[in-house]
């Protein structure tokens, strides 16, 4: 290429660049103006003066649960005596129940730091002395829980705890972290008293997931239930979960009395149980969180008037993280 040809090409390119600079220029506002090359028509493209604020997506929020209960009843042996042979009265058993994932309850959509049942969340284990209307009436050393269960009980389950949208557990959970000693009496000439134990471990997974109104309406229209796997992350919640057990209270004397049916009862020393609550904060979000609750085994191994620790498991309140 000769020097003259090179200069001609450079000049032609400069003219072309200048032409496009004049066709494409920035508006005084946001946006651009340009000319459509085939028609020579000017086209103005400008952004709106105000930002478009999208409304936050609304979700219906559910707490899902998947619970395993293992209840162990120990064997019962009748001890041998000089006049009576010992033997195995009851071989014991292990009872296992699984719910699978089921929809336990609604969760309120909250802003960060907001509570549901704030007082119960902050003071779940608060107790108060027994008053004149609480059993045993006026006996020192007995007390009651200030706050009862606030929501559907996690364990044991009953019909009232079954879920919204009818997504039910495959099996019910009849016990919490249950514990009881048991007494067996047998024999003709001699009565033996002895105990075996029933202990229960409850392991559950919890997950909080959100569903759009459109998804739920579509499922309802087709006669289908919400699906655990289709839920979306809606952040995390701190749940205050309480296990309520029972411990033996002090002995006290009851004078002879006649009950409302006219039956006379001898007086004597008796005792009742006190509640023993244990609460812990559990952070639950989209990813399943596993929790385990065990029987509280620290009561008397005796049977009078009977001693059982139910080990009820309750959500007392929650807050949005």
pLDDT bin (cut points 50, 70, 90) of residue 87 is confident
Q: In which region does residue 31 sit, left (phi positive, over 0), alpha (psi from -120 to 50) or beta (all else)? A: left
pLDDT digits (tens, 9 = 90+) for 20-71: 665 555 444 454 545 455 555 555 555 555 555 555 568 999 999 999 999 9
Looking at per-residue pLDDT, the higher value among 318 and 248 belongs to 318
Looking at per-residue pLDDT, the higher value among 127 and 18 belongs to 127
Domain residues of the chain, as ranges? 3-46, 63-320
> pLDDT at position 305, please?
45
Closest residue by Cα to residue 319 from 151, 120, 125, 118: 118
> pLDDT at position 247, please?
85
Strands (E), 74-155: 76-78, 87-90, 93-107, 115-116, 127-129, 143-145
Cα distance between residue 297 and residue 177, in whole Å? 10
> pLDDT at position 207, please?
98
> pLDDT at position 121, please?
97
Q: Tell me the pLDDT of the chain averaged across its residues.
A: 82
pLDDT digits (tens, 9 = 90+) for 190-211: 455 556 788 999 999 999 999 9
Whose structure tokens read 């959970």?
173
pLDDT digits (tens, 9 = 90+) for 263-284: 998 888 888 888 999 999 999 9
> What mean pLDDT comes out for the span 114-123?
97
CA distances from 286 to 57, 99, 202, 240 (A): 17, 19, 21, 17
Residue 161 pLDDT exceeds 80: no
Cα distance between residue 155 and residue 99, in whole Å? 11
Closest residue by Cα to residue 142 from 153, 155, 157, 128: 128
Helices (H), the chain: 3-23, 118-122, 213-221
């Amino acid at each position: 290429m000769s020097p003259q040809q090179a200069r001609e090409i450079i000049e032609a390119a400069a003219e072309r660049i200048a032409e496009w600079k004049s066709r494409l220029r920035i508006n005084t506002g946001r946006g651009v103006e340009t000319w459509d090359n085939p028609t020579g028509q000017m086209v103005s493209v400008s952004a709106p003066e105000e930002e478009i604020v999208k409304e936050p997506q609304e979700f219906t929020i559910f707490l899902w649960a998947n619970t395993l209960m293992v209840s162990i009843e120990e064997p019962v042996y009748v001890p041998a005596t000089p006049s009576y042979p010992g033997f195995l009265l009851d071989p014991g058993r292990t009872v296992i129940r699984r719910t699978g994932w089921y929809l336990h309850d609604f969760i309120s959509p909250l802003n960060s730091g907001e509570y549901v049942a704030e007082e119960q969340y902050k003071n779940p284990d608060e107790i108060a002395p027994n008053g004149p209307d609480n059993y045993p009436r006026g006996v020192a050393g007995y007390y009651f829980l200030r706050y009862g269960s606030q929501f559907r009980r996690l364990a044991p389950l009953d019909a009232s705890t079954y879920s919204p949208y009818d997504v039910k557990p495959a099996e019910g959970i009849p016990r919490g972290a249950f514990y009881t000693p048991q007494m067996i009496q047998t024999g003709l000439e001699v009565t033996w008293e002895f105990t075996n134990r029933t202990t229960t471990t409850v392991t559950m997974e919890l997950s909080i997931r959100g569903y759009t109104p459109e998804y739920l309406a579509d499922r309802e229209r087709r006669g289908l239930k919400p699906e655990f796997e289709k839920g979306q992350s809606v952040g995390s919640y701190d749940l205050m979960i309480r296990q309520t057990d029972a411990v033996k209270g002090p002995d006290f004397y009851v004078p002879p009395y006649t009950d409302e049916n006219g039956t006379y009862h001898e007086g004597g020393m008796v005792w009742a149980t006190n509640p023993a609550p244990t609460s812990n904060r559990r952070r639950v979000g989209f990813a399943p969180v596993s929790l385990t609750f065990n029987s509280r085994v620290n009561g008397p191994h005796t049977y009078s008037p009977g001693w059982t620790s139910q080990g009820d498991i309750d959500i007392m309140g929650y807050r949005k993280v």
